[in-house]
Structure 1
């Protein structure tokens, strides 16, 4: 059985090379122009070759940027300019020359909306047709086919990536939940037993005399020291890293098709406040998944004026049933324990959870 992470990395490399492979199309155009009996002047072919060298380097960088999760605006602009110049220089061979704009379209339409992809394709066809009117149908056909295939293949990669990231996030959340369960059990069972031992030892010391009393007081001291150590361990297990929690929550939301925007303060937060915010973010994101048809979520943490404010908002909330959920009640109690205030409700078509906590 192959490792899922290994398959994921293989698919990532395959997607990268597939996207970067579009850079070969302009070179095929150059080869076709050279092989044409009515080929352009030699100086034109040399200039085109030099342009394609830079075009290829920028194209590969753009492919890497796309796979990493961003839109390569600079690379798209540079390859567009270089490709246009190269296309003009060998435009007489309009069929071989089509590989240049088609390659550019295959990169430019990735990581954009469907409407923007259509506009990019139409724009490329319009520019090429203005230069070579007789090739309008051919350019439209080739650009549409290659652009659609490029988006389809990249869509498959994004689905696999979202599933992989969501799986990792759920694994981290499961580990955190197990740590919290362990800390509760340790605090409730072992802590209670040690407290009872300490009380009983103190009582026995009062009833005993001499060395027996001293030994029982020593037992009492050891029990209380052990209790302090267990409470320190429990606090460590209950501490949740806010940054890690936010990354996990964003991965889960995006795996569910919900875009997630994060705004975080520059200054560090105290451990107690950070842990509480992590709990609130987790519970709020759960509400977004369960009680809305959201397509976008925004999580904002702002610190200043002696307080920290957390805002979690999402679009498309489901109609309220008239009663507050247990999740909101639990969050309100946690915030109130630190002297803060939590509000939740619909505002301008969004459901907003806002917590203000003294810093």
Structure 2
């Protein structure tokens, strides 16, 4: 299968892989020309044009195999075009083949070997069956050995398929590794934003609240102060209150992370770390506040798995039942300790309690569980 996710990193590596694959175009075009004997100059022109069309179609299929943005529909059309170009060569190569040679077997092999690079195996299998049937039919019609044509086709196709799968697989690994690094960086940035938000709320918010209280007390104690003093005191109260509201608004903005994005990030990060994620999420229409809270619990639970355990499996289940939403994040290694006070699971438990949700976490036999239950509305 071709690469599908993201933009291809390492453009030099991608070009090297494509160059290796394009070497197959040489023999897919040159051998049919070498092993065919047209009866006239016009026949040579026809043969060269058809062989060139077949080679171009093969090159486009191989290019799609290393191009992430190529859609499955486009890949299907490219393979169909290559198949049509190959079938156009079918009568002339069989009819004009040199004695004891099988030129069209190489053309059919190029189609069979390239198809699995861009199509799923069932579809590629159908292409292979069709091309092998054409090989057998051509050999039978023009009096060539059927078995020899089929064997040569299968051997050449297997060689192209094996080489293509290996180099494309290596490129796919590089793309997956790059995507995992980007996801881990995104998770680290999200964690840092939440840490700063929590610290801002705990420190700056509390201090501004104290400032407002002290200013209010000062206004009550100053009985004989001039009017300007009282006006300044009132201004201090107003500024402190506005600043506190602004800080809380900023903290809320820093803490908003979409649940769907967080689930995709968790799946990618766990997989890249060698942990098998099993995600079962019912389609729920959660309010923004509930979605952000569930996303925060998923993020913290996954972070703890990566930092504090050697888990091999993580189960993430999000369900709705009995008027409540329930999230469970369970891993198969019980040493997933909570994070630091104030920004870990303990801090999330306090945050959940403020909105009527209940967060529980801890070892459960040979597993570590993080569970939260919150009202559906």
- TM, length-normalised to structure 2: 0.67
Q: Distance in 2 between matches of 1:28 and 1:168?
A: 43
Q: Distance in 2 between matches of 1:213 and 1:357?
A: 46
Any idea what SS the aligned residue of 1:68 has?
coil
2:193 to 164, 174, 179: 179
1:220 to 237, 241, 246: 237
1:100 aligns with 2:100: no
Change in 2 beyond 3 A, CA 1:110/1:61: closer
Match of 1:60 in 2: 60
Which stretches in structure 2 are left out of the alignment for 5+ residues? 1-6, 140-145
Cα pair 1:309 1:354 within 8 Å, conserved: yes
Cα pair 1:76 1:104 within 8 Å, conserved: no
1:82 aligns with 2:90: no
Match of 1:8 in 2: 10
| Aligned ranges 1:222-301 → 2 under 5 Å | 222-256=239-273, 269-286=286-303, 290=309, 292-294=311-313
| Aligned ranges 1:1-359 → 2 under 5 Å | 8-15=10-17, 19=21, 22=24, 25-33=27-35, 36-37=36-37, 46=46, 49-50=49-50, 53=53, 56-57=56-57, 60=60, 63-64=63-64, 67-68=67-68, 74-75=76-77, 78-79=80-81, 81-82=83-84, 85-86=87-88, 88-89=90-91, 90-91=93-94, 92=97, 94-110=101-117, 127=133, 130=136, 131=139, 132-209=146-223, 210-211=225-226, 212-256=229-273, 269-286=286-303, 290=309, 292-294=311-313, 318=332, 321=334, 326=338, 337-340=354-357, 357-359=375-377
Q: Which has more radius of gyration?
A: 2
Change in 2 beyond 3 A, CA 1:64/1:162: same
Q: Distance in 2 between matches of 1:40 and 1:302?
A: 74
Partner deviation per Cα, 1:64-99 (whole Å, 9 max, x = no partner): 266327656624762574366246422446543333
Cα pair 1:30 1:48 within 8 Å, conserved: no
Deviates more, 1:207-216 or 1:45-54: 45-54
Deviates more, 1:151-160 or 1:10-19: 10-19
Any idea what SS the aligned residue of 2:199 has?
helix
Change in 2 beyond 3 A, CA 1:119/1:50: closer
Any idea what SS the aligned residue of 1:109 has?
helix
Q: Distance in 1 between matches of 2:168 and 2:245?
A: 55
Any idea what SS the aligned residue of 1:98 has?
helix
Change in 2 beyond 3 A, CA 1:159/1:178: same
Structure with more relative contact order (C-alpha pairs < 8 Å, separation 6 or more): 2
Change in 2 beyond 3 A, CA 1:162/1:27: same
Change in 2 beyond 3 A, CA 1:74/1:260: farther
- The Cα RMSD (Å) is 4.9
Any idea what SS the aligned residue of 2:67 has?
helix
Change in 2 beyond 3 A, CA 1:48/1:278: farther
Change in 2 beyond 3 A, CA 1:22/1:266: farther
Cα pair 1:125 1:143 within 8 Å, conserved: no
Shift of 1:151: 0.9
Shift of 1:56: 3.9
